[in-house]
Homo-oligomer: A and B are copies of this chain.
Amino acid sequence: MQKVIRGLIRSGETKVVLCVLDGLGGLPLNGKTELETAHTPNLDGLARGGACGLHIPVAYGITPGSGPSHLGLFGYDPLQYEIGRGVLEVLGLGGELSPTDLAVRGNFATVRYEQDGPVVIDRRAGRIPTEENRRLTDKIRSEIKSIDGVRVSIISGMEHRFALVFSFPEPLPEGADDISDTDPQKEGNHPLRPLPRRKEAEKVAYVVERFIEKVVEIIRDENKANYILLRGFSKYPNLPSFGEVYGLKAAAIAVYPMYRGVARLLGMEVLEVSGTSIESEVEVLKRHFKDFDFFYFHVKKTDSYGEDGNFDAKVKVIEEFDSFIPEILSLKPDVLVITGDHSTPALMKSHSWHPVPFLLVSQYTRGGGSGAFSEKECLKGELGIFRATEAMALILSHARRLNKFGA
């Protein structure tokens, strides 16, 4: 469908703000979801006049990760396009990626050397403190700059986690990241070799294996973190540029590294935000409103509190966002959308498959179906239940950015 849309794009002066409240959808506790519990007079007012519905991030019953759910909302079919786990890990830790890069998730582990080689006795190296992680990654970084002409960067994470970026001299061929994980998943087993599953991956697997050997030389006398396990080998994803596909000058306003990274992969300009509050994000939106056609505005904490199972705190973040609606409306966007990338019910302490409330404000909506902005009321709205991948066509048409299909 993205191909069809791409052929219908027309230029315009209209402006779109797409607000993604991460993990917005919820489940009822004492009869009401987080969104139903929140006091949101501004969102409710918009819902009464605007077009409401619920979107399904990937497919009925499928709980999406953050990568697929964002891709879907941006109109990239997540069953067709993929952002690899290694790539998401690097972006999540604030790392940057170039088109010639391979990204990997790693963790420190503890092995015991037996006659037939190392055996994993703790896959997480006893969850070493983050400072310990920093000390080790600094050491590795200072001693290994490159392998066979491939530059390597290590990025420390929390506790036992880290990420790797292998920067090759040129873009990797399709399938070059098809390499098996070295994490044996079960303690008592040998760490596995990074094996190429296709011919195209041989060179990469060779470089990775040399890297592991060198690291193990450096850390083999550590008490706990004396080995590394790698997984999620993934090369820089080949995604069509959001701006080119939709004919929009697009900017991202997000505080968390992973979302900034995903926006960058799509070719959006990622704006600097001082601080992490919604208020500081709104300030950035106001300051740059004249400079772009499309704003991806991301609010993280709805998801974080959902994951924590903190129902009340998630409610408070929704209420806080609601209080900024008048300021956003004062900019007079032609299309304002408020939705989530997926549901994260506090009741489940995790992402879920439940459809996500979607509210579109524009002068071309029918309105009048929904009495408030909530899961139940959105079900009465004019958009019905639809796939996330349809959202961009709805947004573009309401922004008068699409030509007629056929005569």
Contact = CB atoms under 8 A, between A and B. Distances in A.
A4 B369 CA distance: 35
Given A78-B406, A407-B66, A60 B393 contact: yes
A138 B24 CA distance: 67
Contacts of A113: none
A33 interface: yes
A209 interface: no
Contacts of A392: 61
A3 to B, nearest CB: 10
A324 interface: no
B366 A375 contact: yes
A353 B83 CA distance: 31
Interface stretch (A13-21, A265-273, A290-298, A394-402): A394-402
Interface string A374-407: 0110011011111000101111111000111111
B384 A384 contact: yes
B78 A386 contact: no
A366 B406 contact: no
Given A380-B379, A382-B379, A4 B393 contact: no
A158 interface: no
A225 interface: no
Copies in the complex: 2
Contact of A406 (B1, B65, B89, B380): B65
A133 interface: no
Contact of A384 (B67, B365, B385, B393): B385
Given A4-B79, A379-B380, A382-B375, A63 B405 contact: yes
Contacts of A398: 61
A352 interface: yes
A245 interface: no
Contacts of A366: 27-28, 33, 354, 375-376
A367 B376 CA distance: 9
A380 B58 CA distance: 22
| Most B C-beta atoms less than 10 A away, residue of A61, A347, A375, A380 | A61
A283 interface: no
Interface in A25-43: 27-28, 31, 33
Nearest to A403: B63
Interface string A33-70: 10000000000000000000010001111111111100
A225 B5 CA distance: 37
20 contacts: A4-B59, A4-B62, A28-B366, A58-B405, A60-B393, A61-B394, A61-B398, A62-B393, A62-B402, A63-B402, A67-B406, A68-B406, A78-B406, A85-B407, A89-B407, A345-B364, A353-B394, A355-B382, A369-B379, A384-B385
Given A65-B405, A347-B364, 14 more contacts: A5-B61, A27-B365, A27-B366, A31-B368, A61-B393, A61-B394, A61-B398, A63-B397, A64-B405, A82-B406, A348-B364, A353-B397, A354-B366, A355-B382
